[in-house]
A = this chain, B = another copy of it.
Amino acid sequence: MALVHYPVVNKNGKTIASAVTNLDLHDISRVGKSYGIRGFYVITPLADQQELVRRIVSHWISGAGVEYNPKRSEALTLIALRESVDKAVEDIRQKERHPPKIVATCARKHGRSIGYNTFRQMLRSGGVYLLVFGTAWGLTTDFLQSADYVLLPVQGNKGYNHLSVRSAAAIILDRLLGE
């Protein structure tokens, strides 16, 4: 998985680098750990935001947080900080000896969107995938167009479709990997 802070759009559709949210790291790494993902890349090119990620993770992995809550520490060890999605892809290529297919998530439907059952089957058939979530108002159109696949949006049942990235990541992992 990757949580992207650049390139994403703001509410006016402009490409920005968003700020890191502490609870995104906690919630998404705990969900990732529960569903057995291999790694959780946090992507930001901003030096101060990279420093913030390092501080949060080190507090829970080697600081006072370990004793306070070892289960949380266990989840946060999934986090790998990278300055771009390309760097995360390169990292996976080296580890897996195979480049990952990029599967982007988006709150809107795309021409090339694939459904949950389809992607669930693809995961079960093996292969290496990087599931990418955007912060702020979501991944840029350019990023979505360059992805190998775009996953269908999570729809509730009411036409209201404005979930936080934390909630969307939880629901999506449960749909893809839940028993």
Residues of A within 8 A of B (CB): 11, 23, 26-27, 30-31, 33-36, 69, 71-72, 74-75, 154-158, 160-164, 166-171, 173-175, 177-179
In the bound complex, how far is the Cα of B155 from the Cα of A74, in angstroms? 17
Q: How many copies does the complex hold?
A: 2
Asked if A33 contacts B167 (CB within 8 A), the reply is no
Residues of B contacting A179 in the complex (Cβ-Cβ under 8 angstroms): 155, 157
In the bound complex, how far is the Cα of B154 from the Cα of A173, in angstroms? 12
Given contacts A23-B23, A166-B167, A171-B170, are A161 and B34 in contact (CB under 8 A)?
Answer: yes
The listed residue with most B CB atoms (<10 A of its CB), out of A26, A36, A75, A166, is A166
Q: A170's contact among B23, B30, B167, by CB below 8 Å, is which? A: B167
Residues of B contacting A164 in the complex (Cβ-Cβ under 8 angstroms): 23, 26-27, 30, 166
